[in-house]
Amino acid sequence: MSKLTPKQQAFADYYIETGNATQAAIKAGYSKKTARVIGQENLLKPAIKKYVEERNKEIKSKRIADMKEIKEFWTSMVRNNKLEPKDRLKASEYIAKTNGAFLEKVEHTGDMDLNIVIDYGEDND
């Protein structure tokens, strides 16, 4: 990916923030007279477009908690003596469930057919 100039990067960052190409161009230091045209042109440049897409993906992923973050949150609740015991117990239950502590075992009796097919990915003629 080609490097963006400082002005192009500023434009892209302001565009991500505002969603308005004209305002982003003005904030990035482009002329007010040409900001609308420059803003639209910048959005068509592959390097800027790619930068905006990558940053948006990064921002989106930071907004969504992953399991590690969720487990850390539940752990902080378990260890917080100021919370009600029922809330701490519920958090510990969630941690235990995500670690497989309460797997239900199902016993099945009766007859059933079992077919095992092994595919080695080659023709075995």
What DSSP assignment string belongs to 38-83? HHHHHHHSHHHHHHHHHHHHHHHHHHS--HHHHHHHHHHHHH-TTS
Q: How far apart are CA 24 and CA 11, in angstroms?
A: 5
For the cut 70, the answer to whether the pLDDT of residue 78 exceeds it is yes
The average confidence (pLDDT) of the chain is: 87
Closest CA to 11 of 33, 57, 34, 43: 43
- What's the confidence (pLDDT) of residue 118? 83
- What's the confidence (pLDDT) of residue 6? 94
- Reported as type and span, the H/E element at residue 97 is helix 85-98
Whether pTM exceeds 0.75? no
